[in-house]
Amino acid sequence: MAARLAALAALLGADFAGVDGAALESGEVVVRTNRGALLGLMGALRDDARTRCEQLIDCCGVDFPERAERFEVVYNLLSVSLNHRVRVIVSTDEASPVPSVSGIWPCATWWEREVWDLFGVTFAGLADHRRILTDYGFEGHPLRKDFPLTGYKEVRYDAERKQVVYEPVKLVQDFRNFQFLSPWEAVTTLPGDEKAHLARLAAEVKPA
């Protein structure tokens, strides 16, 4: 199987236009391309008899804030007829849209909406850019590395107004007494050992 996948990676790197790099990584065929060549490559991967990637299994995003093109959009393709998978990766930044592959695989509409919702990557040609996992009034894109863990707003149900309300996040830290001992040091008496514990204390505390 590994030899067959290595041969597939070599074929993609040699014969398919728009491939910037193709290799076998951790036992999987990984292809890197650019935004301008994405649609042509994806159409070829679906239609070419040597690849036959009939299905787009999913599409997701990865954020590398230190890079100029900080986002990677990752497409996982499956060939049912040839029993292999191909991963296609394209890089982009916050301002440059990635061509939508929904015209090749209609199911991509859902995955691209999710990537836009969580990372803020836009897709040229995607007809529906609504949020899909967060609420319509949500601010920001929560899977970006620079998104605060607390978010910007909190949601609660107001019993007096009888509706859900959005409020700025308030980080209120009530006073708490922290026990810094380990669980083994903190538990000095097990249930049922109270009498033995009292006898031990009595033996330790002897009158002078």
Write down the domain spans for the chain: 2-139
Q: What superfamily would CATH give domain 2-139?
A: NADH:ubiquinone oxidoreductase Nqo5 subunit (3.30.460.80)
Report yes or no: 22 and 30 within 8 Å, Cβ to Cβ: yes
Print pLDDT tens along the chain (208 aa): 789 999 999 999 999 999 999 999 999 999 999 999 999 999 999 999 999 999 999 999 999 999 999 999 999 999 999 999 999 999 999 999 999 999 999 999 999 999 999 999 999 999 888 999 988 778 889 999 999 887 788 878 889 988 888 888 876 666 666 666 666 665 666 666 667 777 777 777 766 5
Report yes or no: 107 and 59 within 8 Å, Cβ to Cβ: no
In the chain, DSSP finds a helix count (H) and a strand count (E) of 5, 9
**pTM for this structure?**
0.76
Report yes or no: 31 and 19 within 8 Å, Cβ to Cβ: yes
| Distance set, CA 5 to CA 30, 35, 48, 164 (Å) | 10, 25, 16, 52
d(CA 148, CA 134): 15
Number of other CB atoms surrounding residue 75 within 10 Å: 25
Tokens of 184: 């083994």
Kindly state the helix (H) or strand (E) to which residue 39 belongs, with its residue range: helix 38-47
Tokens of 101: 């592959």
Backbone angles phi, psi at 114, to 5 degrees: -65, -45
